[in-house]
């Protein structure tokens, strides 16, 4: 929406869908505002959250609608890395295929493997449920959760270094905050077992991307990613010709998710307007909202994720 139209609409608005810039001075003009609903899946650093909390304005994210689609995609990427599905397809097309054991010398099963989840919010919990049939040992690292919360879901809490060193497959679901930029760097990647797999499905900013590409190019790690430091990825970006398994930030954006999005937004708006708390979307919390630093993938343009 154009700024002039937004300014004209704010005084009468009871809800804003889409997290436009809302500093305190703009919020002051939204005298009837009851809800701010982010439809990108992130809490963005462009809102005066404390002012919203003081005024009782519900700040919500539609992140829950993307949890299962992203988890399914992440699992699919991990299976591809473990079994060499994409390279095997290409080898067949090129006439270089190997049959039976010869085509599986580097393959491994997820069933019975030790699997690490870095981040145990909406995405991590959704994947944990999908992994139930794999009889895997699930290690979890999430500094925002108590160990008991992980154990309740059948997972073993682990320090980051322990998880990286002990897991055959690592899924990175950590949100990007002001405190964790590149917290998975060259040192951390070097802790992983040779031939282990890493799937990045949250935000590129949490990983040292050049170090990640280096680990994949050397053949030491198998890497898949759905997110990138710059989106859209430039045509000449070296990641396009790298050994990474690539997905163009599309893990969550499937038709079923957007249908679910509409239902959840309407459900929670109905509750809010009736004076009841929202229950179907993710609510921002005063302790953590101020730390978020993600911006929507579709607006990265020529700027690095920040």
What is the pLDDT tens value at each position of the chain, 306 positions in all?
A: 677 888 999 999 999 998 789 999 999 999 999 999 998 788 888 899 999 999 999 999 999 999 999 999 999 999 999 999 999 999 999 999 999 999 999 999 999 999 999 999 999 999 999 999 999 999 999 999 999 999 999 999 999 999 999 999 999 999 999 899 999 999 999 999 999 999 999 999 999 999 999 999 999 999 999 999 999 999 999 999 999 999 999 999 999 999 999 999 999 999 999 999 999 999 999 888 778 776 544 433 333 343
Residues 44 and 93 in one domain: no
177: alpha, beta or left, given left = phi > 0 and alpha = psi -120 to 50? beta
Give bridge partners of residue 117 from the DSSP assignment: 140, 171
Is 306 inside a domain boundary? no
> How far apart, in Å, are the Cα atoms of 303 and each of 40, 90, 229, 240?
18, 33, 8, 18
pLDDT of residue 294: 64
Question: How far is it, in rounded angstroms, from Cα 194 to Cα 61?
Answer: 38
> Which of 208, 229, 246 is where one domain is finished?
246
212 and 97 in a single domain? The answer is: yes
CB 147 within 8 A of CB 174: no
Are 72 and 149 within one domain?
A: yes
As to burial, measured by CB atoms within 10 angstroms (0-12 exposed, 13-18 middle, 19+ buried), residue 102 is exposed
What does the pLDDT read at residue 295?
Answer: 56
Are residues 165 and 20 part of one domain? Answer: no
Into how many domains does the chain fold?
2
pLDDT at 304: 39
Residue 192 in contact with residue 164, Cβ under 8 Å? yes
Domain residues for the domain of 275 are 3-63+253-299
Query: How high is the pLDDT of residue 156?
Result: 99
């Amino acid at each position: 929406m154009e700024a002039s139209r937004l300014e004209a609409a704010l005084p009468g608005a009871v809800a804003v869908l889409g997290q436009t810039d809302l500093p305190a001075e703009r919020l002051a003009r939204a005298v009837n505002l009851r809800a701010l609903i982010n439809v990108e899946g992130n809490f963005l650093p462009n809102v005066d959250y404390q002012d919203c909390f003081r005024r009782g304005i519900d700040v919500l994210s539609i992140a829950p609608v993307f949890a299962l689609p992203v988890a399914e995609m992440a699992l699919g990427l991990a299976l591809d890395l473990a079994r060499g599905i994409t390279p095997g397809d290409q080898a067949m097309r090129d006439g270089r295929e190997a049959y039976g054991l010869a085509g599986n010398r580097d393959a491994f099963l997820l069933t019975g493997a030790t699997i690490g989840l870095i981040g145990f919010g909406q995405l991590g919990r959704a994947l944990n449920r999908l992994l139930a049939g794999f009889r895997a040992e699930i290690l979890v690292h999430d500094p925002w959760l108590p160990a008991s919360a992980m154990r309740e879901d059948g997972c073993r809490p682990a320090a980051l270094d322990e998880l990286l060193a002990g897991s055959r497959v690592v899924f990175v679901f950590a949100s990007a905050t002001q405190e964790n930029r590149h917290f998975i760097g060259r040192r951390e990647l070097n802790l992983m077992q040779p031939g282990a797999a890493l799937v990045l499905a949250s935000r590129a900013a949490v990983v040292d991307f050049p170090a990640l590409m280096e680990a994949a190019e050397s053949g030491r790690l198998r890497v898949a990613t759905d997110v990138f430091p710059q989106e859209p990825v430039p045509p000449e970006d070296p990641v396009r010709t790298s050994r990474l398994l690539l997905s163009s930030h599309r893990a969550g954006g499937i038709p079923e998710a957007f249908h679910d999005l509409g239902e959840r937004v309407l459900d929670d708006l109905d509750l809010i307007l009736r004076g009841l708390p929202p229950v179907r979307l993710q609510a921002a919390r005063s302790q953590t909202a101020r730390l978020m630093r993600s911006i929507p993938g579709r607006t990265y343009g020529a700027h690095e994720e920040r």
